[in-house]
Structure 1
């Protein structure tokens, strides 16, 4: 069972499998409209998750710039954040080392 909410123009704005306050209809089956709405929501979520990953890199770079300029000390951050940044830094160093090894192998060939 699907519980629906439509805006005044009749467009789906929410679909849920549980009744909720403000619902304006229901459907026993997943109609084409419901399937399209769910697919659109999944696409939006995937876009947001991709954006989150990109933003993490921006924040990493920002923290690096602030610490390199002495504006921020890594110890100003909570211990959990320090550990996460340290772990990411180690992973990046390891990845860079692997890329350098691969590039050196290509040069030798």
Structure 2
């Protein structure tokens, strides 16, 4: 499956959860674990990129 398509599906699931159409616990446990793992990885990666890409204008 295409990585971009997987991300779209994750975003759709996140939107459904945020709008309370579904709950994370409505999904199978394996899907819950996978979504939480991927969300954690993105969060850590985003935090690492913030440290690298930060430009405060201080030399």
User: For this structure pair, what is the TM-score category when the shorter chain's length is used for normalisation?
Assistant: 0.7 to 0.9
Counterparts of 1:103 and 1:69 in 2: how far apart (Å)? Answer: 32
Residue ranges of structure 1 left out of the alignment (5+ in a row): 1-48
Q: Number of aligned residue pairs: give it.
A: 58
Which residue of 2 is the match for residue 53 of structure 1?
A: 3
Residue ranges of structure 2 left out of the alignment (5+ in a row): none
TM-score by length of 2: 0.88
User: Which structure 1 residue ranges, 4+ long, deviate > 6 Å from structure 2?
Assistant: none
Which residue of 2 is the match for residue 95 of structure 1?
A: 45
Which has the larger share of helix?
Answer: 2
For residue 75 of structure 1, report the CA deviation from its aligned partner: 0.3
TM-score by length of 1: 0.50
Which has the larger share of strand?
Answer: 1
Q: Which has the larger radius of gyration?
A: 1
Kindly report the root-mean-square deviation, in angstroms, between the aligned alpha carbons of the 2 structures. 1.2
